Amino acid sequence: MQDFIHKVEKIRKFLDSTVFEIVGNEAMNHYKRSFINEGFTDSSLIKWKEVNRRLNPRKKQSADATRPILTRRGGDLVRSIRWRRDGRSVTGLPV
């Protein structure tokens, strides 16, 4: 019985700590992959609309002509995706 209680306690600790880390990191990585894939993925990839700076670039090989959609030179938007444990849930942090 003592062994069973020990195992249940170990599972409870895992659910109270590690699961939140796994879920939070998976969610954050999922959204960050959207910037790499240039679209959102639910059951399949839905590409974002092409941007003018890549359709009609002033210089064909400039960074603006080759940079992924929804990214700025500093990559602020993708780096702003964060999460935190909020009680018994995972919450995205505002930018």
The three-class DSSP label of residue 79 is: helix
User: For 6-17, what is the mean pLDDT?
Assistant: 88
For residue 9, what are the domain limits? Answer: 2-92
As a whole number of angstroms, the distance between CA 57 and CA 45 comes to 26
Tens-digit pLDDT profile for residues 36-82? 888 988 889 999 888 887 887 677 777 777 777 777 776 677 777 78
Q: Could you give the number of structural domains in the chain? A: 1
Q: Is the pTM of this model over 0.75?
A: no
Exposure on the CB side of residue 49, measured as CA atoms within 13 A: 2
Q: Are 47 and 36 in contact (CB under 8 A)?
A: no
Tens-digit pLDDT profile for residues 70-89? 777 766 777 777 877 776 66
Report the run of H or E that residue 4 belongs to, with start and end.
Answer: helix 2-13
